[in-house]
Amino acid sequence: MEAIEELAVQPCTSSLYLRPFRLSYRQNGTKKFWDFMRTHDSVSILIFNTSRQCFVVVKQFRPAVYMCEVERHHPQVFQNQDKESFPSLENTLPAVVGVTYELCAGIVDKPGLSLEEIACEEVLEECGYRVSTADLRRITSYRSGVGVTGSRQTLFYAEVNDEMRTSGGGGQPEEGELIEVVEIPLEESMKFAYDETFPKTMGVIFSFMWFHNNIAPKLPKK
């Protein structure tokens, strides 16, 4: 996962996932504009393994996170963003700075499937557990990237056990995915959520808090 080589930054002239736009508008009599990107909505799933009493999350290398760290240490990288060529990335940071812990998730790009069906596919592909739509509990939906994309993510909760695991997960290599499945013990989960040495998404923190407020009190006492 962290064997990242031959880094090169270049202008993005077209993408299957991002479409940049500029919106001009008048607000309270003042002329304004705002740059934004249209992208897919998504689903995410908080997975709790009742056999092991742990959360199942994923770990992967995120180029956007990595390049944020590169720019923080080497701001000259993006200084020529309007030109054809960018500075060399030979003296870059270790790939680990771009690895994040996240909930199992996926984009909504299959019109024939419900959000629940897409979530079930992601749980199987990324984490190796076979769940049905009846196994899912919808927690809530929210807007992410409100300043840039404004896309909607819908969060589900699923309980699994060891018998429901049919593969090791890891995503779909043919789509460029390289995912590591990670188990976070329940008793360590809130410490993990607030430990900044483990880069993670807000979805992990929020969903762990939701679990401790709504599910944990109903668990059998040891």
pLDDT number for residue 73: 87
pLDDT number for residue 7: 84
Enumerate residue ranges in the chain where pLDDT < 50.
none
**What is the per-residue pLDDT across 47-101, written as a single tens digit (0 to 9) for each?**
999 999 999 999 999 999 999 999 898 887 777 656 566 666 766 789 999 999 9
How many other CB atoms are there within 10 angstroms of residue 63's CB atom?
13
Query: For 23, how many CA atoms within 13 A lie in the half-sphere containing its CB?
Result: 11
pLDDT number for residue 87: 63
pLDDT number for residue 10: 81
**Rounded distance, CA 127 to CA 119, Å?**
11
CATH topology for 21-59+99-215 is Nucleoside Triphosphate Pyrophosphohydrolase (3.90.79)
Residue 120 phi/psi, 5-degree rounding, is -60, -40
pLDDT number for residue 12: 84
Domain boundaries of the chain, sorted by first residue: 21-59+99-215
